[in-house]
């Protein structure tokens, strides 16, 4: 058992590292696609920005976690992580198109569009995770 643990630790850190890079890349892209500055708004106490960004992040992480659990290679993980990121960006763009006032509502702290966007992101993330095939 200990030998299996010792041989599995490098794989753990490799997958964890790739996941961390994927998360950082997703956040970098996502906050540059949105017209408002989520991190500044969150620092200022804007709950709507925190809810919407948290939903997008969790919606992205769910399929990444599924890819980690089922992929055989780091390249597989990276590819599925890229797909998950694109799907999340498309979900945001669809919400933005459907509710154009969302771009001013979230910075204004209005929770209804933030909750909708968060739940949309979570829903899309859950479906993305289920759609990944190996």
The percentage of residues in the chain with a pLDDT greater than 90, rounded to a whole number, is 91
Span 85-93, average pLDDT: 98
Parse the chain into domains and list their residue ranges.
15-131
pLDDT of the residue at 116: 98
**The whole model's pTM is what?**
0.93
Average pLDDT, rounded, for the chain: 96
Q: How far apart are CA 101 and CA 105, in angstroms?
A: 6
Does residue 99 surpass a pLDDT of 90? yes
Average pLDDT of the segment spanning 92-115:
97
- For residue 134, is pLDDT > 70? no
Q: What pLDDT, on a 0 to 100 scale, did the predictor assign at position 69?
A: 95
- Per-residue pLDDT reduced to its tens digit, 108-120: 999 999 999 999 9
CA distance 67 to 78: 9
Contacts with 91 (C-beta within 8 Å, 6 or more apart), sequence order? 59, 120, 121, 124
Q: How confident is the model at residue 133 (pLDDT cuts 50, 70, 90)?
A: confident
| Residue 78 near residue 23, CB atoms below 8 Å | no
């Amino acid at each position: 058992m200990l030998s299996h643990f010792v041989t599995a630790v490098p794989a753990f850190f490799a997958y964890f590292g790739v996941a961390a890079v994927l998360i950082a890349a997703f956040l970098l892209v996502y906050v540059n696609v949105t017209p408002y500055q989520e991190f500044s708004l969150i620092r200022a106490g804007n709950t709507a920005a925190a809810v919407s960004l948290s939903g997008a992040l969790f919606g992205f992480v769910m399929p990444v976690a599924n890819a980690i659990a089922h992929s055989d290679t780091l390249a597989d993980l990276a590819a599925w992580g890229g797909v998950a990121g694109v799907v999340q960006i498309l979900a945001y763009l669809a919400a933005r198109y459907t509710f154009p006032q969302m771009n001013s509502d979230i910075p204004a702290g209005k929770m209804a569009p933030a909750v909708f966007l968060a739940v949309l992101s979570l829903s899309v993330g859950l479906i993305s995770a289920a759609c990944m095939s190996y």
